[in-house]
Amino acid sequence: MLLLRVRDTYTGHRYTTAESVVAADPERYVVLDEPALDANGRPLPPDTTPAPAEATATEAAESIEAHEEAM
């Protein structure tokens, strides 16, 4: 199982999750170029610090458009 560090476009939170989760809902996640595991091989804790408003607004608009197109 491959673990990735991602940003959830719905919440702006960053966390480590399985690649299969990202593949199941690719519009929801942005894969980050950051380590997903600590030095001991454990998943890094989530970061719930809000993303910059500018980035979140753009991603939210894209997610809404993608959802509307799918309907």
Look up the domain containing 31 and give its range: 3-70
Could you give the number of structural domains in the chain?
Answer: 1
**Band of pLDDT at residue 49, cut at 50, 70 and 90:** confident
How far apart are alpha carbons 47 and 63 in whole angstroms? 21
Instruction: Please state, rounded to an integer, the average pLDDT across all residues of the chain.
Output: 82
Residues 6+ apart with CB under 8 A from 5: 14, 15, 16, 31, 32, 34, 35, 36, 44
Copy the structure tokens of residue 20.
Answer: 């299969």
Which residue, among 33, 9, 29, 11, has the nearest Cα to 19 in the 3D structure? 29
Is there a contact between 43 and 35 (Cβ–Cβ < 8 Å)? no
Q: Which residue has the higher pLDDT, 54 or 16?
A: 16
Rounded to two decimals, the pTM is 0.67
